[in-house]
Amino acid sequence: MKVEFLKNSSTILAVDCSKNIGKQNERTLLMGKHASFSADEFFEAHEVPKNVVTCNGGEAIMLPRPRILVVDDMRSNIELLCKIFGDTYEVLFAMNGATALHIATTQNPELILLDVLMPEMDGYEVCRRLKSSHLTKMIPIIFITGLDDEGGEALGLELGAEDYITKPFKPIIIKMRVKHQIELKHAREQLTRLSITDGLTGLANRRHFDEVLSSEYNRHTRTGRDLSLILMDVDYFKIYNDTYGHVNGDKCLQRLAQGISSIVRSTDLAARYGGEEFACILPETDLDGAVSIAEKIRLNIMGLEIPHLTSLVADCVTISIGIFTARCVSGESEFHIIAEADKQLYLAKTSGRNRVSFKS
């Protein structure tokens, strides 16, 4: 048996049973943060020996099955859905809207089964909030409700829910609908990845770079924090292609992309800006931090020791880097940052290449 806890909490998120224990026949039973019964009550009610529980010091134990979130204020409905889905999915549950929003944001379920009638915050409001957040808007929502009226169904679908199922339902049908929605979600995610990824290097493409820079500029305008941009150009890359051929040129760009992505942080975005140019968006990073990252990238590229015997700078592939750090303000745009970083890149190239030039 494995029990999953919220981090730094004794609150149970999931109980996964690999075999029946006592009278506990459900494979998975879950408890949201604000559920109406405690961990002790759970163990006592289901006659589960506490000494079989494993918990890594409060850290969540990740289970390999896809996660779904059941949101219902009726315990009997939760238990029924656990029986239906427990063998296939890791089932999280919440008994009110606030818990549902918390778990959806922090646990990233593949799909949400959502009741309509709940106290304090009904299912429609939960759906509206989930679909308005960039963290949860892509999670499919299926309403499950005893309300059988066209107006309610139309409202749910208008708010962004993917499906609307009325009770009573047939387990085989609801399982197929859940499976279908998760498959569609994965297909959409794959298409999204393809649409924002450069096919050669695997970095973000120019389209995604433009979208993220615009979004980050607007966010930093609100927060007042520093936003840094790094622009990079491979030194004498045309000569490299003429000497080693375009196939080797592509392989070179792939290795450079790996060298760049190994340095940037998870909060940064590395992109292929165009041709042999690369870019990195560094959110909430001041000039000193940006220069430090850029210099690490430059040294890492040299450390790859990709031969370039016809370069006028070194006997290996090198890059020139321009940096601009901005305090974003309303009335200007992200194009100002690009233009200033490009000026610094030009200075790095005209000052001898294989160096970093910067300004704030």
Domain residue ranges of the chain, discontinuous segments joined by +:
2-196, 206-359
Asked if 276 and 229 touch (Cβ cutoff 8 Å), the reply is no
Give the CATH class of 2-196: alpha beta
State whether CATH 3.30.70.270 applies to domain 206-359.
yes
Say whether pLDDT at 134 is over 90: no
**Three-state SS at 334:** helix
Starting at the earlier edge strand, list the strands of the sheet with 2-5. Answer: 2-5, 12-16, 28-29
* CA-CA-CA-CA torsion sign (268, 62, 72, 115): positive
**In 10 A of CB 352, how many CB atoms?**
11
Lowest-confidence region among 2-6, 87-91, 106-110, 346-350: 2-6
Q: What angle do CA 142, 148, 149 make, to 5 degrees?
A: 100
- Name the pLDDT band for 16 (thresholds 50, 70, 90): very low
Q: Would the pLDDT of 25 be above 90?
A: no
Q: Which pTM does this prediction carry?
A: 0.62
| pLDDT at residue 192, as a whole number | 86
User: What's residue 331's pLDDT?
Assistant: 79
Would you state the pLDDT for residue 43?
Answer: 43
**Cross-sheet strand order for the sheet of 67-71:** 90-94, 67-71, 111-114, 141-145, 163-166
Is the distance from CB of 38 to CB of 46 less than 8 angstroms? no
The whole-number pLDDT of residue 329 equals: 85
| Number of CB atoms found within 10 A of residue 322's CB | 26
Could you report the per-residue pLDDT of 201-260, keeping only the tens digit for each?
A: 999 999 999 999 998 999 899 899 999 999 999 999 999 999 999 999 999 999 999 999
Dist CA 219 CA 36 (whole Å): 38
The beta strands (E) that lie in the chain are given as: 2-5, 12-16, 28-29, 67-71, 90-94, 111-114, 141-145, 163-166, 226-234, 269-274, 277-282, 319-327, 356-359
How does pLDDT run across 156-206, given as a tens digit for each residue?
999 999 999 998 889 999 999 999 999 999 999 999 888 999 999 999 999
Average pLDDT, stretch 116-144? Answer: 92
Q: Is the pLDDT of residue 47 over 70?
A: no
pLDDT at 64: 64
Give the strand pairing for 2-5 and 141-145. unpaired
Task: Give the pLDDT of residue 332.
Answer: 83
SS3 string, 89-127, reads CEEEEECCHHHHHHHHHHHCCCEEEECCCCCCCCHHHHH
The whole-angstrom separation of Cα 194 and Cα 206 is 13
Q: Give the burial class of 62: count Cβ atoms within 10 A of its Cβ; 0-12 exposed, 13-18 middle, 19 or more buried.
A: exposed
What whole-number distance in Å separates Cα of residue 211 and Cα of residue 180? 30
Q: Is the peptide bond before 49 cis (omega within 30 degrees of 0)?
A: no
Whether 88 contacts 28, CB under 8 Å = no
- The pLDDT confidence band at residue 357, using thresholds 50, 70 and 90, is very high
Taking the C-alpha atoms of residue 70 and residue 113, their distance in angstroms, rounded to an integer, is: 5
Is residue 284 among the annotated active site residues? Answer: no
> Which among 4, 162, 276, 340 is annotated as catalytic?
276
